[in-house]
């Protein structure tokens, strides 16, 4: 087999992988934004529902700390460093210390 053309093929493949990698990164970023937006909208919706229900009966909303825990366990930051963004790197020490103080 022609070594020169083999090298060219591998170089082309490397370039395509590089492009795919960048595309993957963009998609990952878009998905992250969508998840965060979805979470924001859900919170807003819960808030509005609680408000409209609150006019007739008082709903059990749970303590502020419980709500923070729930949001955190669903995978979002609640610390003031990255509030509302998706936790992509496991536990966050800022969030954990924030919950402790809440
Ligand atoms: Zn955090």
Q: What is the pTM of this model?
A: 0.66
Q: 86 phi and psi, to 5 degrees?
A: -70, 135
101 CA to centre of ligand 1 in angstroms: 14
Going from the C-alpha of 18 to that of each of 7, 24, 31, 41, 83, the distances in angstroms are 16, 10, 20, 35, 32
29 CA to centre of ligand 1 in angstroms: 18
Closest CA to 85 of 77, 96, 93: 77
31 CA to centre of ligand 1 in angstroms: 19
Cα(53)–Cα(60) distance, integer angstroms: 11
Q: Convert the pLDDT of each residue in 29-87 to its tens digit.
A: 999 999 999 998 998 888 888 888 766 555 555 688 888 999 999 999 999 999 989 99
Q: Convert the pLDDT of each residue in 84-100 to its tens digit.
A: 899 999 999 999 999 88
């Amino acid at each position: 087999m022609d070594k020169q053309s083999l090298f060219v093929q591998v170089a082309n493949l490397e370039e395509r992988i590089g492009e795919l990698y960048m595309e993957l990164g963009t998609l990952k970023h878009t998905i992250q934004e969508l998840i965060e937006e979805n979470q924001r909208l859900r919170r807003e919706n819960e808030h509005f529902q609680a408000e409209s229900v609150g006019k007739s009966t008082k709903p059990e909303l749970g303590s502020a700390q419980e709500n923070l825990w729930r949001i955190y366990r669903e995978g979002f930051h609640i610390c003031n460093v990255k509030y509302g963004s998706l936790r992509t790197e496991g536990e966050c020490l800022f969030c954990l210390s924030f919950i402790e103080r809440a």
